[in-house]
Amino acid sequence: MSARFSKILSALPASTPFVGPETLERMRGSPYEVRLGANESAFGLSPKAMAVLRSEADRASWYCDPEHFDLRELLAAEFSIARENIVVGEGIDGLLGLTVRAYCDPGDAVVTSLGAYPTFNYHVAGFGARLLTTPYRPDCHNDTAALVDLARRENAKLLYLANPDNPTGTFLGRSAVEEILEDLPQHCLLLLDEAYYEFAPDQDLLPVIAEDPRLIRFRTFSKAHGMAGLRIGYAIASRDTIAAFDKIRLHFGVGRLSQLAAAASLGDRAFVATVIADVAKGRDDYEALARDLNIPSIPSFTNFVALDVGSEDRSQQMVHKLHEMGVFVRRPGVPILGRFVRLTVGKTPERVALKERFADAFRSLI
Amino acid sequence: MSARFSKILSALPASTPFVGPETLERMRGSPYEVRLGANESAFGLSPKAMAVLRSEADRASWYCDPEHFDLRELLAAEFSIARENIVVGEGIDGLLGLTVRAYCDPGDAVVTSLGAYPTFNYHVAGFGARLLTTPYRPDCHNDTAALVDLARRENAKLLYLANPDNPTGTFLGRSAVEEILEDLPQHCLLLLDEAYYEFAPDQDLLPVIAEDPRLIRFRTFSKAHGMAGLRIGYAIASRDTIAAFDKIRLHFGVGRLSQLAAAASLGDRAFVATVIADVAKGRDDYEALARDLNIPSIPSFTNFVALDVGSEDRSQQMVHKLHEMGVFVRRPGVPILGRFVRLTVGKTPERVALKERFADAFRSLI
């Protein structure tokens, strides 16, 4: 007598994009001492954003502006584009779901690297599309030639790529991205997840060409701006794409405080510059750790560094040992990347604690 | 050369569930003096929730627990059900979208009252389902017999009903809801939007029977708890339904501060009781206004009262005049309900301001 689920949902196996650290803490029975596994910012929020959170807390009883007008005006000015080229949503996660929904009919092909962002893959499955992957290159870069080739062969609707990349930290310069756009098959859209764009070398980043109808770029306040818990991100795309999103997006999905804090943080260039500098120091620290242990690490353009511990088995053991030592880190569980452990940049004391335990765990395993 | 939208989106006209007061303010060039049009709580947040917002602000750099474990534990204890009967999402708006997506294939019939919640209708269209409506009864109640009949004739997947109702404020007692459940056609699900349930007479509310697979109940922290801007609500349903939602929901859609503040507010029964009492006083005020003006009002079980100004034309003129006088209120633009203006309960000074201007506007029109 019960209602029947939709065709897509009826055929969908249970899956979870990420097991949160809180779940792991409940399993181990105590909180982590060091939480450096989800690429959250250790450097907190801009003081200007904090001031807004405090002064506007009692207005959390009001809904947000569903048009996100003021924030989009600020972003438009920042990138010299139109407000109509910007949509604000519940983090990149929410906007990726919206994108898959907007473009994919059930069975449509979508292309990404094997081991790229699980939440994107989750949305592809959730809307009944068909995920096709190609492995990372041996040098841990996205294999852009293979991705484009796969998209072409399968007549893919979407090609997803993070740049700078997660979980590797690698970066594709402007010409590499332009090459993808040139070779992209007809009717295929390039989704550039630029969650870590603030950490990328400025001069190499693809300029924001908002009106290219084959490109959507995803940005977030979760990383350099330190607002992961406020769930706010944005996408830059052609007016047609944004207008289409407006037909289906959750108009009241983003919180009022999130919206105001994001606007305040956007105006605090000095704060973001400090975060970027602090994160660079942190990466140096982790690279020094790799050198001390005589293991490779991937040069990173993000707020994390992936260290090569030699094998998939050892990487698994490392994460398990660190978990037991009160440290939350993650590893990519796929070929080529499987021998890495990914360390988010923490503050100095967190890094000291992590480095010590990482070295101990590593030495106990070799 | 551009990507093609999905079949559903290609056929979808542009629509917006609500024009926000911020948009109207931009049009009139100045902020409203009195904002009582969106059923936001004038009584703010619980001091316990405020304390959490302040003390946890600097941890807004962390993602939330995607399982919402602690909050669901609290809710489960509150209603003597299992955590597995509860899902937390980005307000009722987000959860309604999830529900339509989970149950409806394109073309599936969905039934609701003409003039019920626009955001639900927006989701129905957005997932390609077919919205069928039946008018409210002349006494401004949902016509439950007609709704069930329509659902039966059209083999509907979903029947949506707000209880207490928005925009009328009317309430269906327990037996009326039980009757709907009895008569519900096979494979049809009853969606009970209980956004205003805290304001309903306790003894008459359907008890929470979580394992009924034909029922989903939607609740929110936006109304009595005063957290509309924090975007957090929950649904109570059978384990199978919740497990299905877990396959497609946005796991990181709710903010960390929202989650923690909701838990704190849930624990502040004294605060919520005060809000309920204050809201009752406010409703009395608006009913007195209606008596003074010698017009009917609908007895309300919510935080608003709908006043009958006599005709659709006059209702439209009232809202326009009030807008010019710096007052934001809304009206339902559908037959039967069209002659009403809906007034959200404000604090005493807001009510005084609203009542004066409402009376002036009304007298100028008759």
User: With 80 as the cut, is the pLDDT of residue A111 above it?
Assistant: yes
Crossing angle of helices A69-79 and B21-28, rounded to 10°: 70
Task: State residue A237 phi and psi, 5-degree precision.
Answer: -160, 180
Instruction: Report pLDDT digits (tens) over A79-93.
Output: 999 999 999 999 999
pLDDT score at B176: 93
User: With 60 as the cut, is the pLDDT of residue B241 above it?
Assistant: yes
Local confidence band at A366 (pLDDT 50, 70, 90 cut-offs): confident
Ordered by start, the domain boundaries in chain B are 19-44+270-365, 55-267
* Mean pLDDT rounded to a whole number for chain B: 96
pLDDT score at B366: 87
B73 and chain A in contact, CB less than 8 A:
no
CB contact under 8 A, B40 and A62: yes
* CA quadruple B4, B7, B11, B16: dihedral, nearest 10: -90
B109 and chain A in contact, CB less than 8 A:
no
Tell me the mean pLDDT in the region A29-53: 97
User: With 80 as the cut, is the pLDDT of residue B135 above it?
Assistant: yes
User: With 60 as the cut, is the pLDDT of residue B189 above it?
Assistant: yes
pLDDT score at B94: 98
Quick check: bond before B167 cis, omega within 30? yes
Nearest CA in chain A to B253: A90
- For residues B304 and B9, what is the distance between their CA atoms, to the nearest angstrom? 35
pLDDT score at A1: 45
A300: three-class secondary structure by DSSP: coil
Rounded to the nearest angstrom, the gap between the alpha carbon of residue B231 and the centroid of all alpha carbons in its chain is 12
* Mean pLDDT rounded to a whole number for chain A: 96
Local confidence band at B210 (pLDDT 50, 70, 90 cut-offs): confident
Instruction: Report pLDDT digits (tens) over B30-73.
Output: 999 999 999 999 999 999 999 999 999 999 999 999 999 999 99
Tell me the mean pLDDT in the region B171-187: 94
Crossing angle of helices A256-266 and A69-79, rounded to 10°: 20
B104 and chain A in contact, CB less than 8 A:
yes
- For residues A116 and B209, what is the distance between their CA atoms, to the nearest angstrom? 41
Instruction: Report pLDDT digits (tens) over B316-362.
Output: 999 999 999 999 999 999 989 999 999 999 999 999 999 999 999 99
Instruction: Report pLDDT digits (tens) over A315-357.
Output: 999 999 999 999 999 999 998 999 999 999 999 999 999 999 9
Nearest CA in chain B to A244: B9
- For residues B232 and B295, what is the distance between their CA atoms, to the nearest angstrom? 37
User: With 50 as the cut, is the pLDDT of residue B1 above it?
Assistant: no
User: With 90 as the cut, is the pLDDT of residue A150 above it?
Assistant: yes
pLDDT score at B208: 82
Q: Which class is A7-44+270-365 in CATH? A: alpha beta
Fold of B55-267: Aspartate Aminotransferase; domain 2 (3.40.640)
Fold of B19-44+270-365: Aspartate Aminotransferase, domain 1 (3.90.1150)
The shortest CB-CB distance from A61 to any of B91, B105, B227 is to B227
A187 and chain B in contact, CB less than 8 A:
yes
Mutation pick from A39, A41, A59, A62 vs chain B, by most beta carbons of B within 10 Å, is A62
Instruction: Report pLDDT digits (tens) over A25-37.
Output: 999 999 999 999 9
Residues within 8 A of B (CB atoms), A 292-351 only:
none
Residues within 8 A of B (CB atoms), A 212-251 only:
213-214, 222, 226-231, 238, 240, 243-244, 246-248, 250-251
Local confidence band at B2 (pLDDT 50, 70, 90 cut-offs): low
Q: What count of CB pairs under 8 Å joins A to B?
A: 263
CA nearest to B197, candidates B303, B73, B91? B303
Tell me the mean pLDDT in the region A102-130: 98
**B305: number of CA atoms within 13 Å, CB side?**
26
pLDDT score at A2: 61
For residue B9, the chain A residues in CB contact (below 8 A) are 101-103, 244, 247-248
Fold of A49-267: Aspartate Aminotransferase; domain 2 (3.40.640)
ipTM of this complex prediction, to 2 decimal places: 0.96
Tell me the mean pLDDT in the region B166-176: 95
Tell me the mean pLDDT in the region B173-199: 95
